[in-house]
Structure formats: C-alpha cells, structure tokens
Chain A
Amino acid sequence: MGPLLSLSLRQVAGRRRIAVIVLLSALPVVLSVILHAKFGADREFLDQFPEGVINNLLLGVIMPIVVMTLATPAFGNEIEDRTLNVLVLKPVRRIAIVMPKFLASVVVAGSLLTVTSVAISLIALGSGGGQAAFAVAAAVLTGVLAYSSLFTWMGLVSSKALGFALVYVFLWEVVLSQRIRGIRYFSVREYSLSILHGLDDETFSVFEPRVIEFEAAVTASIIVIVLFFFLTLRRLNRMDIP
C-alpha cells in the first residue's frame, strides 16, 4: 500500500487543489476571529456560534466541499487520464488500490479540518473549550470518513461526480435534511451533528431538539463508510477498465 498511498497523497496535494482547500478550511477560523473580536464573550455570540459557525458553515458547507474536492478525483482523474490500468495491472488485491485512495482524502481533509475544529472551538470558548474542541474534531472526522467513502465511490462510477456531489450536498444535506426530520437518519451532516452533541451536550445543548440518538449516529456513520467502500471495491472488480 505504501507506494500507492504516497502517489495518492502527491496527486491530491496538487498546489492549486491544496490552496483551495486550505482557504476553505481557514474560512471558519477567520470568521470566528472576526466575530470574537467584535462580540468577545458576549452571550449572544456564544449562543449563535454552534449553529452559525459549526453547523451551517463547517459541517454544512466546508467539510463536504473539502472532502469532495479531494475524493471525487481520486479515481475520477485516473479514469480520465487512463492511468487506472497502470494500477489494476499489478499483482495486488483491489482493496490495496481502493484503501490508499480513500485514506489520502481522509488524511489530508481530516488533518486540515481537525486543525480548523480545534482552532474555532478555542477561539470561541477560550481555554475552557477543550471538551468542545474534542467533540467538534470527532464530529468532523466522522463526516470526513463518511464523505470520503461516498465521494470516492462517486468518482469511480461517474465522470460528473463533482457535479453530482455538489447537487447531493446542497439538496440533501443542506436543504432537505434540515426540513424533513426522517431524512436526518440518512444524512452524514446529521450524524456529525449528533456525535458532536453526544460528546459535549452542555456546550452544544442548542442542538438538543433536533439531533438523532448518539448510538444511531455512530452506527449509521459506520454503515455509510463500510457500504460505500464495499461498493467502490465491487465496482472496481466488475468494471471494464478504460
């Protein structure tokens, strides 16, 4: 897996792509700094911080966009450049091809967004925000794993994966999951939010009325990660390689 993970990391870490995702990841931090400078420890700011910065901006927009930017080209670019046959014509199991592609997105998106999570929590809540920072980081990592699995599969099945991923995120995760309660059991964003609340229900009590059960969120996240990883493997095994 070593050489392929190294290649995958070099591929996802192209200068332009890295610049875009670093800027996106820095956006919540910059916003937190500005808001904190303006409102300080104002109660109203602290009440609105979880909903505005963490839920709507970080979990709702930044996290899925960063992951889709990294994960959809993992196989999509290999198919477009016709380099996928370079990989599959080697004496390695298909899982040894899928795993590094998946991990490359997780490592890059996960590390950047963990830094973002910790930074915004500490900016908003000060040194007492350790528990909150841990909860935000765990929620974000869950989302990164689930989205990476989903978007890596999308990149393998469609040449228009980035477009489909954008439509899915904004229609399903941003609009429908916020309006139809039942959809929350099928939404990666809601899993992250419920894990966040489950790990620090005091700081994030604002989410109490809407989250699903912590156990359900953890189980559903694992199902999404494993299911789409398996579908990617299955697709790579069955497809005709261009």
Chain B
Amino acid sequence: MIPAPSIEITNVSKWYGSVVAVNDVSFKVMPGITGLLGPNGAGKTTILHMTAGLAKPSDGDIRVLGEPIRGNYKLYSRIGVMSEHEAVYNVFTGRQFVEFSAKMQGVADVPGAVDRAIELVNLADAQHRPLGTYSRGMRQRMRLAATLVHDPEVLILDEPLNGTDPRQRLEFHDLMQKLASEGRTILISSHILEEVETLAETILLVVSGKLAAAGDYRAIREKLDDRPFQLRIVCSDPRKLAAELVKLSAIDSVAVEDDGSLTVFSRNVAELQSSIARLAKAADVRLIQMEPLDESLESVFSYVVSR
C-alpha cells in the first residue's frame, strides 16, 4: 500500500492583484527530506506560507497530514514551521523563547521538552542570554529549537541555514537526517543548490512561480550536469592549453579571448572538472584562475525549465 503523502498541494495558485506569484503548482511530499529549490523571488516562500496556512491560496487545495491547513489551528500541534525572517521576541532569553513556544503548544513537560530542544541545537551554554545578544546563526538555531519543542511530525523550514557558519550547517545536516530517519516529513527551502543537494533526496524545483521539476535529486542533477557550461580559464600558456583541451570529448569548443584568457564550452561538467588539472600539469601549463561564466542558479534553472 502506498503511504499517504504528508503534504499534498493540488493546482495551487496565488496572485496579488495582477502579479502571479505561484502558478498552478501541484506536488506531494512524503516522509523524509524534500528540498524546495529555486532562485530568489521564484515563489518558494509564498508556497511555504500557503503550505503552513499563513496565506490563503487564490486557487487550489492544500492538505497537511490529510487535513486542510488554512484555519485548522489544531493541526499546528503536529506541525513545526520556521519562517525565513529571523523573528524572535527580544524581551526573551533564548530559553524563555523556547519555553513560550512549548507553553503555547500545550506541551505536558515544559522544562524537559525545552531542555531536549535546546540540547538538539547545541545552545545549552547560551540559553540564558537575551535573544538580542545572539549572533544571526545562534538566533536561527534557537528558533529551530522553538520549532522542534513539541516534537512535530511535519517540519516546514524556510531558508533555515541563513546566517549559519559551515560547522553549524554540518550540525544542522546531521540533525535533519536524524529527524527524517525517525519518520518525520521535512520540507526545506533554499536558493543554494549545494545546500539542498547534501540534504534532500527529493527536490522540488521552482522557477517563476511554477514547478519546473520534481522528483529524485539525482535525476535532476543529471539534467543539470548535462547543461551547456562555460568556463573562463586564465593560465600561463593559453594556446598550448587550448590545443590540449580540444582533444577532450567533454569539450564542445575553446575560444582564446583578446585578453589571453580561454573560454571553454562543455556539456560534461563532471569530466571537464576531473580532467582539467591533470591536462594542464601534463602540458606544463600553470593554471592561474578558473571561473564559471554561467553558474548562477538562475541560468541553471532556466536551462532545466527550457528542456
């Protein structure tokens, strides 16, 4: 028997006046980690707001754990939502903020639940400091503790890694994996490809308010790897390196620019990346600088959408 989806979005649209923010989006989210990926302004936050019941869809239907979410306040005892904005009450210490959340959730053992939640985000040492004195990353983690304090079945997290450092990202990654392995459903948004690729098995790719791709991360990644790719290379002997590069099957063409740099066109990023350093060394050419010319997320998304 196929398990019921934790989140079910059916033909959902949202418009503000004449501006269409989300256009006829449908998807299902199953237990595990699902990444909602898209460039800034793509409509991710609007989708998450509607999924959390904060905003009313102009059209379509949203169900969380089998029930309509909008106006269904009882459902919030089973859902944890962390918005993009670093909204905290600065009159509280970190612990008081999590306690407030636990009390509003009607948690039975408030001190125990608060201890556990703060321990999960590794902020026990700073829990009695006012929230106003926290760094951005610490605030995000304490907000996550407040989101987790009632042990929700479904987590909706909007750009939760904003402001966190690499170590905190690793800890967050481990925590999400642990929560997902316990059977929870986690829908997490990001505009950073690498952030989601290490976290989510399933991806929902949103571009210009539409769902551009959905499904297994690897299948989407293959599409991305297969996209035309431009690389600018500055090296000690551009003509010699160009002569070697054109021999590679991964290379479509190489152009020597007026400023002496090389522009390389390729459809096989993986092979290009693995070969270029070896090739340069064999040709005794020193690589000075390499930079992708079209690596912006928007160009990647545009390519996926156009296919």
- Chain A interface (Cβ within 8 Å of chain B)? 2-4, 7, 10-11, 81-83, 85-94, 237-238, 240-241
Q: Could you mark each residue 49-83 of chain B with 1 if its beta carbon is under 8 Å from any beta carbon of chain A, else 0?
A: 10011111000000000000001011111010101
A4-B104, A91-B74 known; A240-B91 Cβ under 8 A? no
Contact (A85, B87) CB under 8 Å given A3-B104, A90-B105: yes
Residues of B within 8 A of A93 (CB): 73
B303 contacts chain A at the CB level, 8 A cutoff: no
Choose among B55, B74, B79 the residue that contacts A240 (Cβ–Cβ < 8 A).
B55
Task: Kindly provide the distance from the CB of B153 to the nearest chain A CB, expressed in whole angstroms.
Answer: 13
B106 within 8 A of A: yes
Cβ–Cβ contact A83 & B88, under 8 A: yes
A11 B91 Cβ-Cβ under 8 A: yes
Cβ–Cβ < 8 Å partners of B146 in chain A: 86
Looking across the interface, which residue of chain B has its beta carbon closest to that of A2?
B103
4 shortest interchain CB distances as A-B pairs:
A240-B55, A90-B104, A91-B77, A82-B85
Query: Which of B54, B73, B106 is the one whose CB lies under 8 Å from A85?
Result: B54
| A7→B105 contact, CB < 8 A | no
Whether A86 contacts B54 in the complex (CB less than 8 A), given A92-B73, A93-B73, comes out as no
Pairs across A and B, CB under 8 Å, 7 listed: A4-B104, A82-B87, A85-B83, A85-B87, A86-B87, A86-B146, A91-B105
Interface centre among A92, A94, A237 (most CB of B within 10 A): A92
Residue B15 at the chain A interface, CB threshold 8 Å: no
Beta-carbon contact of A89 and B76 below 8 Å: yes
Please measure, in the bound complex, the distance between the C-alpha atom of A221 and the C-alpha atom of B101, giving whole angstroms.
Answer: 35
By beta carbon, the residue of chain A nearest B55 is A240
Q: For residues 99 through 148 of chain B, which have their beta carbon under 8 Å from a beta carbon of chain A?
A: 100-101, 103-106, 146
B81 near A89 with CB under 8 A, answer: yes
Max chain A C-beta neighbours (<10 A), residue from B81, B87, B91: B87
B contact residues around A238 at 8 Å (CB)? 56
Q: Which residues on B sit within 8 Å (CB–CB) of A83?
A: 87-89
Shortest CB distance B251–A (Å): 49
Alpha-carbon distance between A237 and B79 when the two chains are bound, in angstroms: 19
Q: How distant is the Cα of A2 from the Cα of B79 in the complex, in angstroms?
A: 22
- A91-B76, A94-B73 known, 17 other contacts, Cβ within 8 Å: A3-B100, A4-B104, A82-B83, A85-B81, A85-B87, A86-B101, A89-B53, A89-B54, A89-B79, A90-B105, A91-B73, A91-B74, A91-B105, A91-B106, A92-B73, A241-B49, A241-B55
Most chain A CB neighbours (cut-off 10 Å) among B49, B53, B54, B81:
B54
Q: How far is the CB of B39 from chain A (nearest CB, A)?
A: 21
| Cα separation A88 to B100 with both chains bound (whole Å) | 13
Q: Write the nearest CB–CB distance from B82 to chain A, whole angstroms.
A: 9
Contact of B54 among A4, A7, A90, A241 (CB under 8 A): A241
B13 to chain A, nearest CB (A): 14
| Closest A residue to B81 using CB positions | A89
Across-interface contacts of B100 in A (CB, < 8 A):
3, 7
Given contacts A85-B83, A86-B87, contact A92 B104 (CB under 8 A): yes
Report chain B residues within 8 Å CB of A2: 103
Query: Which chain B residues (230-248) contact chain A, with CB distance < 8 Å?
Result: none
Query: What residues on A are CB-neighbors of B53 within 8 Å?
Result: 89
Alpha-carbon gap, A4 to B91, bound state (A):
13
- What is the bound-complex CA distance between A52 and B193, given in angstroms? 69
Distance in Å: Cβ of A98 to nearest Cβ of chain B: 13
Closest to B102 in A: A3
